[in-house]
Structure 1
Amino acid sequence: MWMLFLLVACVAAVVSCARLCRAAIAAGALPAAGPGGRPQVAGLGLYETAFLSGGPRRVTDLTLVSMAGEQRLLLAHTGWATVVDAEGRDDLERSLIASIGPDGQSPVAAIRVAHAAAGAIRALGERLVGDGLAVPAAARESVTAGIRQVRGAILLNLLMAGAALVLSAGGQPDGGQAQAWFALPLLLTTGCWIIARVEVHPYTRWASPAGQDALRAVPDGPGPLSALAVRGPAALLDPAQRAALG
């Protein structure tokens, strides 16, 4: 009887690991762009750096802090943003002002959600994908789903092993041997999940391998915006701004 449980665990392990491997291979085989088939890695601006480092959320945070630094927007430590100057200087600023809404005031969390869906953010992401620096959304979602499925296979394997243990306690022959067999799919799924978290996940969140190279080539700027673009709100020196961005 326990062999049926083992079969279920093995099938789940093989299918989930195969799906994750296919997704990782597809994410790593991104089309190259630029002369000689090499992606363009030079000339990253703050917006591009922010997107590759933290996606749309980081771009929104950068735009908020940039406008707040020029006193064109008030960024309160309570997590609310208020528009002072409704004239944006570029598409991302204009889309941010539109995301805040007609009242000119909105919580930062709501602004992030609305701004992430704005056309300016999508255009920035598509341009970076076209340059070979960013991972396409489909590839990111596929890898994320693959990791989630492997994690589910680990839990299923533990459940099947537990069921086999119950049979062993009930006098089922070879129950002790069953536990050793269940170690095989558990080892496969756990090893695959660990490798994915260490090797695959950092390279399939936003930046492609070429994008990672471009980020490593970005010099440390003297201002807070450069630090924010690369490292996120934790790099801000102003505690009120850190509190506002959560």
Structure 2
Amino acid sequence: MWILLLLVACAAATAASARLCLAGVAAAGGVPGERRAQDAVELGLYETAFLAGGPRRVTDTALVALAGERRVLLAHTGWVTVIAPEDRGGLDGPADLTEVERSLLASAGPDGQAPLAAIRAAHAGTEAVRALAERLVTAGLGVPAAARERLAAGVRQVRGATGLTLAMAVATVALNGSVRASDGTPALLWYVLPLLLTGTCWAVARVEVYPYTRWAATAGQEALREIPRDASPLSDLAARGPRTLRDPEIRTLLRQARPATRSAISRRRPV
């Protein structure tokens, strides 16, 4: 009986690990057939931000850039306020801003004020951010959305296979007690093999997939490595995240902001 349980655990671990490995290879490769176009894409500030951290990093970088120009106010309460009324024109706003920045201002709503989490969610779905992602994918620098979904599903399946293996080990003990194999080896030791397989794949995924592979293909990761440190505060933010910011209040705000809740949105807005 315990051999049947072990075979189930091994089969699940093998299938999950194989799926994760194949998804990781596909995600790292980007779009091979279109990689010749990558030279046509200039790796600017927001392209760098997307490859390093996806739509959220793009939004954070644009917010800090606009805050530096005194166009928005980042309050310690987690609210974002568009300062100048003329900047609330959304996509028809100031011509000196990029499409990403204009779409971010529009994400604050007609009142020009919204929680940071709500702006992140709204800005991620704008046409400007989607177009940015499509350009990077077409150039072979970014990972297609379908490949990211397969990769995430592979990680979930590996976690599930790990849990199933542990459950089979517990069932072996419950049904058979201290059963041993024909060579005298305790049966539980055989479960180390599928656990080692899933655990190794899970660990490799954490190292290799996070934080770049989710958004950047191999070519995109190489481009990110070429970005010099301390090039500028905004470049460091785009490539390496909020931890590079010198302002402790903004750094804490960007790192700790959570999705908005109904109670938070219904509170009286700060003046």
User: 2:203: which partner in 1?
Assistant: 194
- Partner residue of 2:225 out of 199, 216, 238: 216
1:27-66 alignment to 2 at 5 Å? 27-32=27-32, 33=34, 37=36, 39-40=38-39, 43-66=42-65
Distance 1:38 1:118 in 2: 24
Gaps of 5+ in 2: 88-92, 257-271
Q: Which moved more, 1:83-92 or 1:123-132?
A: 83-92
- Partner residue of 1:227 out of 206, 212, 236: 236
C-alpha RMSD of matched pairs (Å)? 2.2
Distance 2:44 2:180 in 1: 67
1:106 maps onto 2:105 in alignment: no
- 1:198 positional shift: 2.5
Is residue 54–residue 215 contact of structure 2 (8 Å, CA) maintained in 1?
yes
- With over 3 angstroms needed to count, the CA separation of the structure-2 counterparts of 1:173 and 1:92, relative to structure 1, is closer
User: 2:71: which partner in 1?
Assistant: 72
- Partner residue of 1:147 out of 155, 165, 185: 155
- 1:96 positional shift: 0.8
Q: Which moved more, 1:160-169 or 1:24-33?
A: 24-33
Question: TM-score, structure 1 length as denominator?
Answer: 0.89
Matched length: 243
- 1:66-124 CA-partner distances (Å, limit 9, x unpaired): 11111111111221110123134221122111211112111111110110111100100
- With over 3 angstroms needed to count, the CA separation of the structure-2 counterparts of 1:195 and 1:141, relative to structure 1, is same
Is residue 125–residue 134 contact of structure 1 (8 Å, CA) maintained in 2?
yes
Counting aligned pairs with the same residue, the percent is 58
1:70-219 alignment to 2 at 5 Å? 70-85=69-84, 86=87, 87-88=93-94, 89-169=97-177, 174=181, 177-219=186-228
- 1:41 positional shift: 8.7
Distance 1:237 1:201 in 2: 24
User: 1:26: which partner in 2?
Assistant: 26
- 1:218 positional shift: 1.7
- With over 3 angstroms needed to count, the CA separation of the structure-2 counterparts of 1:93 and 1:161, relative to structure 1, is same
Question: TM-score, structure 2 length as denominator?
Answer: 0.82
Partner of 1:53, secondary structure, is helix
